[in-house]
Every structure is written in structure tokens, then in C-alpha cells.
Structure 1
């Protein structure tokens, strides 16, 4: 249309400097100015490099911008309803939206993490599936060619013991043995007041037969939450493996039939969850369903690149002592006498940074060319940009 004003929308995380891609936004005209003229049409667009473009409504007093992305609240940090006249006489009108990420959980095979706006705000040691001995691990490696294991080391009667948990795809299919299958799940973090509800349940609820015995507490801990495969929290069956009945729970020690086992971390996890519900009360109000439940996403993924990228931002990786890496992520243990591990980590860093290259261009300029060079200096990994 001749003379049509183009409205540019820039979308960022709540931090105001991280541009967001693949965010769908709907522009809906409100309050028609002249009923004799054609109404403006509703428009939708998807962000590329953090930018979307719309035709500015010409026959509406106001318009609404709605975020249609399950990662974020529908309402941005600022008011979503805009007055058309504020932009109609402005050259190159632009609106910046800072999107608020929904809280979520991520389980990577050895940690259960609470996320907000793509940042880990709390993490808890957790494992899934049967706890395996060294010999059981070797048998699976030799007989089934399984390769993906995580280890948990603890001391019992002054003796160091190592348990192993197998994360291989095929082992995930093993009922009552393998880890919870990778995928997207949902949990209801509201406090359950009924044994049949989907929310947080306490140890002495009567929904399982061992609940009033010491053995029951050893296996289940003080709290648990059922894990669902649908947003309505009605279905517990994972579609590809047909396994069902997963829980986030505690217990005396790690090892279960395929849920997410926090062992003795369960009390701290649920205490933190309750405190965060208060801290993010305003945000959580927006995601309550019509039953008053607070349902959040749980992402389960066991890929190394995915896990490592979750731990470190580009800035944090500029110069990092391997000792701090050890304390943050024991899957990437390094020592000066093991150059193979260091080289493996360097290769992994490079793969992550290759994927981040598009973001680097956005952050530092589209026309500039940046290379990432990884080298070691003493016990440090240096990531140098030029």
C-alpha cells in the first residue's frame, strides 16, 4: 500500500541486550477510528536477528502486541497496548520489547536446574534410572555397546563408592531400568491438597503403598511431583517408549526406576521452589491455568554440547580456570596431567562458539568478522576474539 508506515519491533530478553530469534508476535488493531473506512487487519510476524516489521495501523487508535511463544509471557515488560498516534508521525518508528521468560526446569542426567530467562538460578544434583556398579557398567558397554554414562561418587563406611547411570537412547527404553527418556515434560508446582492432584505431594500422602513405612521414605524422600507429557498434566505416558509414572522425588540414596532422583537434595529443592514461587509471584500469576495451577516446562536432554552451553555464557568463557570448571561441572574434569581431556574441552568450546557466531555478529556488528581462537596458558583456557 502506497504511503504505508513500517513499524519495527525489536525483541530482547528482559536483560535488554540479548536479541531473540524465532519469536512470533501478533499485532491486533483496537478502537477503529473511522467506521466508514476499512478496518486494519491483524498481522503476525516472526523475529529474525531480534527484529520484526509490521504495517502500522492507519485506522485504529490503539493496537496490541501479543507474544505467541511458549518460552515467554504473553505480556512484555512494558505495556503491550500502544497508541497509534505516538508512531504515525515518527520517521522509522520503532518499539523495543523486553520479553520475560517463563521459569522452567532442565535435567541433564546429573543435575536438575531451575531456569529463568535462559539463566540457571539454582541447581541440584540428581540422577535417573538404576544405579549401576562398575561391573554392570562394563557389561552394558561390552554387551550393548552403550557409551553414555554419568558417575556419582560417595563415601560409605570410609570407603569410596562409584555409582553409574546409563543415559544411552536404547537404555532409556528399558522399563524400570533406564533414565527418563529425553524430551519435553510438564510439572505442576502448586501445592497438592488432594492425593489425586498433580502438584507437590508430601511423604505421608496415601497414594503409594510404602508411604507410611521407613522403606517408603528411603525410596521416595519427603516430597515428590508427578511428571507429565502434556501441558494439562493429565498424561504420564512417554510416547516413543510407552514408559510412564515418572516423578521428581527424593530418597536415602540415588537410583530409581526412571524418575528424577534428588536423593537427600529433595528438601532443599522443594524449599527453593517455594521461595521462588514467592519471588516470581507476579510472573507466575500470568501462567496460572483456569484451575489455578502453575504448570511449568521440564526439559530433559543428555547431549554434552547442550549441557555445557547451559553452564557458560560467552563472557564467562573468556578466561576460566579449570578449577572453577571442576566445581561447576564434574562431567568436564580437567587436570594438568591429562591433555586429552583439555583438548576435548577445547574442541567442545569451539563447537559451541561456532553455533554462537551468529549471536556474536549481532552483539559486535554484522559487518565485522570475528574469529575465535582457543589456547591454553598454564591451567587456564583462553578464548581470544579478534
Structure 2
């Protein structure tokens, strides 16, 4: 039963989370029918709840991920990317991975203070911190909350290496800090470009900046001396894969320092949300898209195994990899990563941040 407008949202559904043994909500539907009949379907507004976590550094020991620690300033993401693998995390709050994930957000305003405490601990070993690994650090609410900027300020002050992954040209607002870090070889940025087609991007990532803005941000960051990569992530077969070579070419023209791609992943609740999205926007090829994804994922919606989850498997995975490699050679996009220094780290001084 629709209880909010889907206009401007990626998910076409807002299912109740049940994966963590939460009881499915049951409501009397007649009054909702009357509200809809009298007032129409109300527009879903974005809300932000302040979260007070006890720690901010998330550790991982995954062998196929190039970092062992990350920081996420927000939960949920207003960009609304239908394929986002972070959607299932909203179920921890008894919220839907569907529209709730895009509209009921959580902010961590004390993130910089928590990171200050973590970096101050005796015996802390400095390694790059990744930002943007779960939800986008430069989603629209960063405009007001500026939590990501406070984290970057601390990392620059302590000369701690970090990486940023984003879909937003809003990262340019911190170019002053990123420039300071990059001059010391402490920072790199990856901007995700999944399609050059504005219509597809608007459907796939409804509230993320248009592709031309992301390419312009890649150009501006690299011209400022900040190594910025293009992340063609994810590649969605039968929807965006035909653009692979064009994105590589456009990224090189924008001066990208390097690039990589990732095939689409559909873990847990993402799979049924993605299927519903296909039925809504691409009914003519929905079956073909899912058949190709199954070919990439060993006959399943998702392959959670290390290494293969990032590369895919089978003939379709081989084809995408070969096309990407050929495009990189043709247009001159490098695979090399920008090495970050860890020897400049200076632990924070005192119990309070010097910046405050």
C-alpha cells in the first residue's frame, strides 16, 4: 500500500525489514485508504536523527579490500542509488532498506571527537582511513552538518592518510583541505561515474549529481594536484555496461589519475528492491538483466565470497574485464594507485581537539 510519493526516490518499495527476526508490522489499512483518497499520496520528506555512537572507526580484515579501517559520518544516503549494498544496514534500526534508507537518515556530529580519541590511544598504528565505504560522505545533508569536513580537518591536522569515495561534486567544497593533504601525499579521491546518460543516472541514482558534474569535479581535483580516480562502480549489465569504454574515455579527458570498475552486487534486501526497480523502469529487459547478473554471480543474485564478489565470475565477468583493460590501454587510463604516506602521522595533542 503506497503511503508516500516515490518522486525523486530510487527505491520503488518500502518493505518491512524481517531479516533480523523482527515481527512484520500489521496495520489496519482502511484509514490509510481514506487518507490517500482524500489527500493524495503525501510526499516523503527527508529527516535526520542525531546518533551518538561510542566509537567511529570500523575495522575489517577482508582480504579483498584495500583498507582495514573506515569512518562513516552518516547512516542512510539521500542519493537513493537503487543498487547500494549499504541498504540492508537500515534494518538494524527496524527501518526499511527501501525508501527509509533514502529518507530517514542518521548523522554523527561527534564523529571528529571520537576519531580524535581513537587516534590518541597509545600504540595506535597509522594506516589510511577510508571514507565513503558505506554511505556517501558528501551526500546533501553534508551541506548543513559538515561532519565530513570536521573529520578531514582532524586528519589534515594530524597528518593522517585517508581516502574518499563519493558520487558528489560537493567534495570540491573541501578542496582547500584536500590540497594540503595531497601536497603531503596523504589523500586521494575516487569519484563514482556509473553512466554518462543523464536519464539513466536520474533513474539509477536519483539524488546524486549529474555525471557531467562528477567529471568536472575529477578535472578540478586533479588540476589542483589532488589525485582523483574514476570508479565505474557498479557496472550494471544490460543497463550501463555498454557505456564502459565511453566512461573511460571521458575520465581520461577529465584527467583522472586512474580508474577501476566493480560489477553490481545485490546482497540481502537489495535484490528484491532492484527487481522491483527493474519492473518499474526497464520492464522490457528485466529478465535479461537478472539472467546476466546470475551469470556473473554463480547462478545467484549475489556472490558474497571474497575476491569473486568484487570481480564476478564466468564469461560475462571475463568480457567486462577484457573490455575495461582494452579501453584503459586505448585511452591511457592507468590502474596504478596513489601511495599514501603513513610516516608523517602526529597523534593529537591533549584531551580536546586543537581545532576547537
Shorter-normalised TM range:
under 0.3
Instruction: Determine which structure has the larger helix proportion and give its number.
Output: 2
Instruction: Determine which structure has the larger strand proportion and give its number.
Output: 1
Q: Which has the higher contact order (CA 8 A, sep 6+)?
A: 2
TM-score, length-scaled by structure 2: 0.25
TM-score, length-scaled by structure 1: 0.23
| Greater radius of gyration (CA) | 1
